[in-house]
Amino acid sequence: MHDLGKIAVNDSILRKPGRFTPEEYNEMKKHAEEGARIVREILTDTDDEDFRRIAENVAHYHHERVDGLGYPDKLKGDEIPLEARIMAIADVYDALVSKRVYKERYSFEEADRIIIDGMGTQFDPCLRKHYEAARPKLEAYYAGSQPESRPV
């Protein structure tokens, strides 16, 4: 759901095997605001206003960074909704340990090092203990979801 806005991004960019040009990257970054717009539209008639707000925040702000260098609004620290700070860690972890068209997957150890190194810059350091507590379950889940670990 956090990347719902990618449906508005051209497939040639989404499936590109190499690095984005600055123009492509700017186009890709639009998915956060577009995702929030789509979520807002889909949930406009919901009676659960908290659910709508949380879902919209996750889509809109999951690429913000606690150091203020993220996008789309360059929010910093606690300006970023908590649900988006949590999603940021989950999104990056998933991207690291999963094979993508533009990269091989990282080992769990390398992904962990990258996440821990990002605490205080990309990620909220207050969430570190929660990430560390969840790490064994994340590894178990991703170990079971890798193609070579599934029976044929």
Phi then psi for residue 148, to 5 deg, are -75, -10
| Contact (CB, 8 A) for 5 and 37 | yes
pTM: 0.90
Distance CA 26, CA 94 (A): 22
Distances (CA, A) of 74 to 54, 61, 77, 106: 19, 9, 10, 28
User: Annotated active-site positions, please?
Assistant: 6
Q: What is the pLDDT tens value at each position of the chain, 152 positions in all?
A: 789 999 999 999 988 888 899 999 999 999 999 999 999 999 999 999 999 999 999 999 999 999 999 999 999 999 999 999 999 999 999 999 999 888 899 999 999 999 999 999 999 999 999 999 999 999 999 998 765 543 43
* Three-state DSSP state, 34: helix
Which amino acid, 33? Answer: E
119: β partners? 123
